[in-house]
């Protein structure tokens, strides 16, 4: 279960830290729409079966030439345009992904080159569906150190590359896409989100609940591992559901308590877009009406680390966030990992 460490509390509650802002948001989704009916043509499933269990109607899959780095670059360009920040101002790139273009070099290095940035700090982090919020925490604290001024924090995934289309319990859940924010030590004249607090946690005691078993040092690629379909995503959906609801509820309460706020003060919650039943359960446990939650799960499925930043960008574009709104971002993923961020939005 999530918990706050003493060092976290000391850092974010008792010491006045330099402010960090979200200056701009951007997202990218492939043009190829794959509906539930499309999947039903080659998977033993149906639109009714998928939608009633997940809330998903369609998702996006990449086409030829679209990679994780390509989507990350496109979303970053849009975030930089929204933030009115030029490429030469960016001095840090963090990409959260579990589906990089290749094991190494990092996708962040490919993004750095693709955007024409200078010889800056660029690296990937891997925390599955919590990855973007992990990266947001890291980027926030790196800017607070005074060594960086403007950071691109990106969540980008090509989940279709690790799906087993013989497993209808998992292949219908996921989609591809990317979302990005520009973090800055400087407030913008445009819409700005002030980071009030961040939280991350992990429990690695049961990694097999959600994993890709093959391809690492424990199970290197081989004819046997390929024939055993070990390079595809495996998930115990029933157990993940139970743990995800508990962890995301507690994580939400922890970040609110840390920042001296209450659930009733929340104007908007953007949860990880995994399953509407999970989202509805969290709303019920926090005693919040469903309309305070921003969801786009129906059209994208679970895009892992890209899920929250895509939804954040869509919420901004739709005018969902108003002046002085209190915004909660909260996620849960393989690891098991969880994370949250509390943001004050200003127009």
Q: Are 334 and 173 in contact (CB under 8 A)?
A: no
Whole-Å CA distances, 289 to 279, 285, 345: 11, 10, 20
Quote the strand ranges of the chain, DSSP E: 21-28, 33-35, 58-60, 92-96, 121-125, 150-158, 176-184, 192-202, 210-211, 234-235, 268-271, 325-333, 337-346
**Tokens linked to 186:** 């400087």
In the chain, what is the greatest distance between 2 CA atoms, to the nearest angstrom? 57
Give the 3-state secondary structure of residue 73: helix
Separation CA 136–CA 191 (nearest Å): 18
Measured CA to CA, the distance from residue 199 to residue 181 in angstroms comes to 18
Burial of 257: CB neighbours in 10 Å, binned 0-12, 13-18, 19+: middle
In sequence order, what E strands does 252-319 have? Answer: 268-271
What residues are annotated to the active site? Answer: 129, 272, 302
């Amino acid at each position: 279960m999530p918990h706050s460490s003493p060092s976290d509390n000391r850092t974010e509650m008792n010491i006045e830290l330099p402010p960090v802002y979200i200056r701009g948001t951007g997202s990218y989704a492939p043009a190829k729409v794959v509906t539930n009916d499309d999947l039903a043509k080659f998977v033993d499933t149906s639109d009714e079966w998928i939608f009633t269990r997940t809330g998903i109607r369609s998702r996006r899959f990449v086409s030829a030439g679209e990679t994780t780095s390509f989507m990350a670059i496109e979303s970053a360009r849009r975030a930089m345009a929204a933030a009115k920040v030029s490429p030469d101002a960016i001095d840090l790139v963090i990409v959260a992904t579990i589906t990089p273009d290749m094991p190494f070099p990092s996708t962040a290095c490919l993004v750095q080159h693709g955007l024409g940035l200078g010889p800056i700090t660029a690296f990937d982090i891997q925390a599955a569906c919590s990855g973007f919020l992990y990266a947001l925490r890291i980027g926030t604290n790196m800017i607070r150190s005074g060594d960086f001024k403007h950071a691109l924090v990106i969540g980008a995934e090509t989940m279709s590359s690790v799906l087993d289309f013989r497993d209808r319990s998992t292949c219908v859940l996921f989609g591809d896409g990317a979302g990005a924010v520009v973090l800055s030590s400087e407030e913008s004249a445009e819409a700005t989100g002030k980071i009030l607090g961040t939280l991350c946690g992990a429990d690695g005691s049961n990694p097999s609940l959600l994993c890709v078993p093959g391809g690492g040092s424990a199970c290197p690629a081989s004819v046997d591992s390929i024939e055993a379909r070990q390079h595809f995503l495996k998930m115990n959906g029933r157990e993940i559901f139970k743990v995800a609801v508990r962890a995301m509820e507690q994580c939400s309460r922890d970040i609110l308590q840390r920042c001296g706020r209450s659930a009733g003060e929340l104007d908007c919650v953007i949860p990880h877009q995994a399953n509407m039943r999970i989202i509805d359960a969290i709303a019920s446990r926090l005693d919040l009406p469903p309309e305070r939650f921003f969801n786009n799960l129906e059209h994208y499925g679970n895009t892992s680390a890209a899920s929250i930043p895509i939804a954040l960008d869509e919420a901004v574009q739709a005018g969902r966030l108003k002046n002085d709104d209190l915004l909660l971002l909260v996620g849960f993923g393989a690891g098991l990992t969880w994370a949250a961020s509390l943001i004050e939005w200003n127009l």
